[in-house]
Chain A
Amino acid sequence: MVQKRTLRSRLGRLPVVHQLRQSVGLQRGMLIAGLVITGVFLFTAAFAPLIAPYGFAQLRGEDGLFGAQQPPSAEHWFGTTVGGYDVLSRVIWGAQTAFLVIVIAVLLSIFAGILLGLISGYIGGWIDRVLVVIADAVFAFPTLLLAIVAAIVISGGQSNLWGGVMAAAISITVVFIPQYFRVIRAETVRVKSEAFVESARVIGAKTPRIMFRHVFRNSTRTLPLIFTLNSSEAILTLAGLGFLGFGIQPTSAAEWGYDLNKAIADVTSGIWWTSVFPGLAIVLVVLGVTLIGESLNDLADPRLRTRRRAATTPADAVAATQPIAREELGEVV
């Protein structure tokens, strides 16, 4: 019984679970919608080989070739592409590629960004100035242009699954490190002047200890938020790269941006299914992740958070007549 309760309270402290419990009304709706969409995305990515009716590079079934640009039918629910692939299968397999890119990009950038931000913010001085200038310089480049350059440098025109994924992920990382860096640096500068950090200095704690024990955890509260917002940006950058032709070849992995690129010509000839479904997949995943991010943002701010109206149930009435905190009483005595 006791264990169960501690488990529950532990669960309640987890980032997203905690906010879900806290939320009400529209904000709760948004958060749940985001969680459901993202959940479906993650599920699809994890079980793509089981869900997808065909492989992503499969051109022929038991009855021979699928045929190009076939309209939706019982065999091909979403039709087939100009290259003769099954659209449904490619949309499902595409989730896996997108997921890989998000995870790698965010993991790479989060560690470098946080470490640099902490050092820059806490130690300050010339290190800080140099890092800020570099971050600003990276910011000045258009994201996609930078990603293209990085993709060319990294994969050198190679386009197998890992080459493509790493190229996309690393190019996104380059763009994201300054974002994490700036957020963590700003928070670190704020936390640095708090009394508890000064108190640690008076005690005689060494700089690394202050940085990691006192500053670090207090300056990473906004991370879940940036994490979700960056994930959606990562998907968009990956799709943009694929759309511009710097993505992954269809035989290496499924990629929504690439499929969209190939579907451009179809649109004018009335073939809608090749572009709508990959496009919808991108929109939905970005929407889902952004909804989570935005709700977390609103819930993290007490001024934006909506609360339950004061209800007039008997239990509340009792709570209302009971003094809130008896601790002050103890102070008086």
Chain B
Amino acid sequence: MTSTEPAVDIRDLQITFDTDGGAVTAVRGVDLVVAPGEVLAIVGESGSGKTVTARSILGLLPETAKVSGAVVLQGENVVTVSRQRLRELRGTAGAMIFQEPSTALNPVFTVGWQLAEGLRSHGEYSRKQAMSHAVEMLRRVGIPEPELRVNDYPHQFSGGQKQRIVIAMALALDASVLIADEPTTALDVTVQAEILDLLRRCRDEFGTAIVLITHNMGVVADLADRVAVMYQGEIVETAPVQQLFSAPHHEYTKKLLAAVPRVELVERPLPDSGEGARDAVVSARGLEIEYPGRLGRKAFLAVRGIDFDIAPGEVLGLVGESGSGKTTIGRAIAGLTPVTGGSLRVLGAEMRGMRERSFRPHRKDLGFVFQDPATSFNPLLTIADCVAEPLVVHGIAASPREARERVDELLDAVQLPNAFGDRFPHELSGGQRQRASLARALALDPKLLIADEPTSALDVSVQARVLELFEELQERFGFASLFITHDLAVVDRVAHRVVVLHHGDVVEAGPTPQVLGSPRDPYTQRLLASLPVPDPAEQAVRREALASLRD
């Protein structure tokens, strides 16, 4: 095979889906070429058709899809090829890496069996050969002690290791193209950096072409050679990665890049509260939160005796990876998870041994914004009814209809047209719903707002809008806030002070510019270095720095 022949050649691809609302065209006339050994990133917002385009390379589309155009993979048109041949092509010619590694592996079989299964179904290996090849693949993707671990089940591996195994499965048959659909979205930043390293090695050592689908511009800058920007089913711009970041052509690309949050270290003076002696809104001393274990198992200590305070009008950023206990703390403050040790005072009430009845009067001073805007609204009530709910519950308005005036004010405050109040939650986009969620949290003019990863389910451009709004509202209403997030760049935008959590312990706390600018704790340093920045040149430098940190 000559090296000039492209690994994947997509010509005038058009994909239409049958839905309840009639035909929906997800991809309109896309042309793409992926050269061997090249990493092509497809970026775009949710619904832009990037995943559908990539999946069409392996013919992995639902039955309701109608495809026209040509997708040439190893000289064969995937669109017209027979089912039998398509099955043979999957794995040998192209392979897929999924977003969520824990669902891509079958929990009832060992990883070795699953690796061998892929090899044997293509009929070139005996059972023994397949097993030894499986061990070899695990070694290559960096699983320690592969001879022993090959007989382990998926749940015995960490998230990052599971993603490595998925990559091993994809590489096992020497596929010439890897399709990586948001391969690091479900992983923590430090693990993400490792997986990106592994993917880079795949390209360098195996000469594999990679089609990388992502919405994270930092990941793009880190890994991609060339970038295709998709918007509403069309490719609006294709450019080498350097050029795209330094001189974007299309209007949409510019907006997308501008919306990416960066760590900029802005000094954010605490709003002057007049008399400095006012009591803290939240004050934790030796706070411990324990989840009861299952029968015969030990209880799990999610938060291990931490201290922190939130002053009135202050935004405290709580940062940490998954499992660090950050969400647990947020829930404990809202009284959703019981406090088991130490002391946690919220709005002057002790939460340890709290009784719902006695805490209820304090609830009107407390707002909560949930992570997933899709599930945080009752799907059967209109937005106006949902926003009016706190007013009705606390007896300020007798019915949602009476509260409508106040609801309209709130919708104005979060920049939603009043007419949106009559819509149902599913009729709003994710960003709009999250803004409505802010409106609901602010309905009673609370002293404290807990925001649990409010932007992590949103696209970057939408995230930028919501953060902007949050800043603006915070300035206007002056509420104190606990802002929980895993994204350091987001914390930099909104928080006055930062607390970094690791395995339920505070590793570092202080004013935002100080913690993010000159971190003292090695964990914070690693966290910061792992965060990919949307600039290829700078990212290359950071990568080196991270490598030296790890050693």
A156 CB to nearest chain B CB (Å): 46
Query: Which residues B375-402 have CB closer than 8 A to chain A?
Result: 375-380, 386, 389-390, 393-394
A307 to B18, CA, bound (A): 6
Asked if A307 and B28 sit within 8 Å, CB to CB, the answer is no
- Best-buried of B259, B368, B371 by chain A (most CB within 10 Å): B368
Query: Which residues A2-56 have CB closer than 8 A to chain B?
Result: 22
Asked if A209 and B375 sit within 8 Å, CB to CB, the answer is no
A114 CB to nearest chain B CB (Å): 16
Asked if B429 and A201 sit within 8 Å, CB to CB, the answer is no
Known: A196-B376, A199-B370, A324-B24. A310 touches B360 (CB 8 A): no
Q: Counting CB contacts under 8 A, is B432 at the interface?
A: yes
A72 CB to nearest chain B CB (Å): 49
A324 to B432, CA, bound (A): 17
- Best-buried of A196, A200, A213, A311 by chain B (most CB within 10 Å): A196
Q: Counting CB contacts under 8 A, is B461 at the interface?
A: yes
A9 CB to nearest chain B CB (Å): 13
Q: Counting CB contacts under 8 A, is B47 at the interface?
A: yes
Asked if B380 and A328 sit within 8 Å, CB to CB, the answer is no
Q: Counting CB contacts under 8 A, is A1 at the interface?
A: no
A305 CB to nearest chain B CB (Å): 8
Q: Which of B22, B364, B380, B394 contacts A218 (CB 8 A)?
A: B380
Q: Mark B349-384, 1 if CB is under 8 A from A, else 0.
A: 000000000001001101110111001111110000
Asked if A332 and B461 sit within 8 Å, CB to CB, the answer is yes
Asked if A195 and B23 sit within 8 Å, CB to CB, the answer is no
Asked if B23 and A320 sit within 8 Å, CB to CB, the answer is yes
Asked if B366 and A195 sit within 8 Å, CB to CB, the answer is no
Q: Which of B256, B360, B459, B462 contacts A204 (CB 8 A)?
A: B360
Asked if A203 and B393 sit within 8 Å, CB to CB, the answer is yes
Query: Which residues B62-88 have CB closer than 8 A to chain A?
Result: 64, 66
Known: A204-B393, A214-B378. A198 touches B252 (CB 8 A): no
In the complex, what residue of chain B is closest to A217 when comparing beta carbons? B380
In the complex, what residue of chain B is closest to A309 when comparing beta carbons? B18
Question: Which B residues touch A310, using CB under 8 A?
Answer: 16-18, 23, 66
Asked if B429 and A331 sit within 8 Å, CB to CB, the answer is yes
Known: A307-B64, A310-B17, A332-B255. A202 touches B366 (CB 8 A): yes
Q: Which of B23, B336, B461 contacts A316 (CB 8 A)?
A: B23
B330 CB to nearest chain A CB (Å): 10
Q: Which of B252, B334, B393, B440 contacts A205 (CB 8 A)?
A: B393
Q: Counting CB contacts under 8 A, is B285 at the interface?
A: no
Q: Counting CB contacts under 8 A, is A327 at the interface?
A: yes
Known: A204-B363, A204-B364, A331-B461. A319 touches B23 (CB 8 A): yes
Question: Which B residues touch A209, using CB under 8 A?
Answer: 393
Q: Which of B336, B367, B378, B462 contacts A331 (CB 8 A)?
A: B462
Asked if B372 and A195 sit within 8 Å, CB to CB, the answer is yes
Q: Counting CB contacts under 8 A, is B222 at the interface?
A: no
Question: Which B residues touch A321, using CB under 8 A?
Answer: 25, 28
A316 CB to nearest chain B CB (Å): 5
A332 to B462, CA, bound (A): 7
Asked if B255 and A325 sit within 8 Å, CB to CB, the answer is no
Q: Counting CB contacts under 8 A, is B232 at the interface?
A: yes
Question: Which B residues touch A22, using CB under 8 A?
Answer: 20
Q: Counting CB contacts under 8 A, is A194 at the interface?
A: yes
> What residues make up the interface of A, taking CB atoms closer than 8 Å to B?
22, 194-196, 198-206, 209, 213-214, 217-218, 305, 307-311, 316, 319-321, 323-325, 327-328, 331-333
A321-B28, A328-B45 are known; give 16 further A-B pairs, CB within 8 A.
Answer: A195-B372, A196-B375, A201-B336, A203-B363, A203-B389, A203-B390, A203-B393, A214-B378, A307-B19, A308-B18, A310-B16, A310-B66, A323-B233, A325-B47, A327-B429, A332-B252
26 A-B pairs in the complex with CB atoms less than 8 angstroms apart: A195-B375, A196-B379, A198-B368, A199-B440, A200-B389, A200-B393, A202-B335, A202-B336, A203-B393, A203-B394, A204-B390, A213-B378, A305-B20, A307-B18, A307-B20, A308-B22, A310-B23, A319-B23, A320-B24, A323-B233, A325-B47, A327-B432, A331-B429, A331-B459, A331-B465, A332-B461
